[in-house]
Amino acid sequence: MSVLPQGTPLGNLELEEVFLDYDGPKLFSARSATGQRYVAVAVDEDDGGRPIFLYLPVSAERYLAIRSGLLSLREALLEPEGSVFVYGHAMSIDGIALTLLEAREIPDDWLPDEDAFLNVPTATQAHFEPAELSHRADGEVRSLLALRLDRPDLMRTEYPLRDLKDLLEDVQEAVHADSG
Amino acid sequence: MVATLPDNCPPTDARPVDQRFLRFVSGTLSVGDVPDKLDWVLPHENAKSTYYGRIEDCSCHAHSLFSNPADIDVARKFVPMFRKKRVAALTITQSMGVVAHTPARIGRSHHSWWPAPADLVPTASVIA
- What pLDDT sits at residue B30? 94
Q: Are A19 and B78 an interchain contact pair (Cβ–Cβ within 8 Å)?
A: yes
Which residues of B fall within a CB distance of 8 Å from A93? 47, 52
**Rounded average pLDDT over A34-54:** 89
A13 near B CB under 8 A: no
Amino acid at A89: H
pLDDT at A93 over 70: no
C-alpha distances in angstroms, A109 versus A151, B49, B115? 35, 22, 34
Strand, helix or coil at B114? Answer: strand
Which residue of chain B has the CA closest to A67?
B105
Q: Per-residue DSSP letters for A38-69?
A: EEEEEEEE-TTS-EEEEEEEE-HHHHHHHHHT
Segment B82-93, tens digit of pLDDT: 999 999 999 999
- Whether ipTM exceeds 0.90: yes
- What pLDDT sits at residue B67? 97
Window A:23-52, CB contacts with B under 8 Å: 23-27, 41-45, 48-52
Measured distance CA(B77)–CA(A25) in Å, rounded = 16
pLDDT at A12 over 70: yes
Q: Are A41 and B51 an interchain contact pair (Cβ–Cβ within 8 Å)?
A: no
- What pLDDT sits at residue A90? 44
Q: Which of B49, B63, B80 sits opposite A44 (nearest CB)?
A: B80
Q: Are A23 and B64 an interchain contact pair (Cβ–Cβ within 8 Å)?
A: yes
Segment A151-177, tens digit of pLDDT: 778 888 878 788 888 888 888 888 888
Amino acid at A64: L
**Rounded average pLDDT over A49-71:** 92
pLDDT at A48 over 90: no
- What pLDDT sits at residue B52? 86
Q: Are B52 and A25 an interchain contact pair (Cβ–Cβ within 8 Å)?
A: no
Measured distance CA(B116)–CA(A48) in Å, rounded = 28
pLDDT at B112 over 90: yes
Phi-psi region at A138: left, alpha or beta (left = phi > 0; alpha = psi -120 to 50): alpha
pLDDT at A2 over 70: no
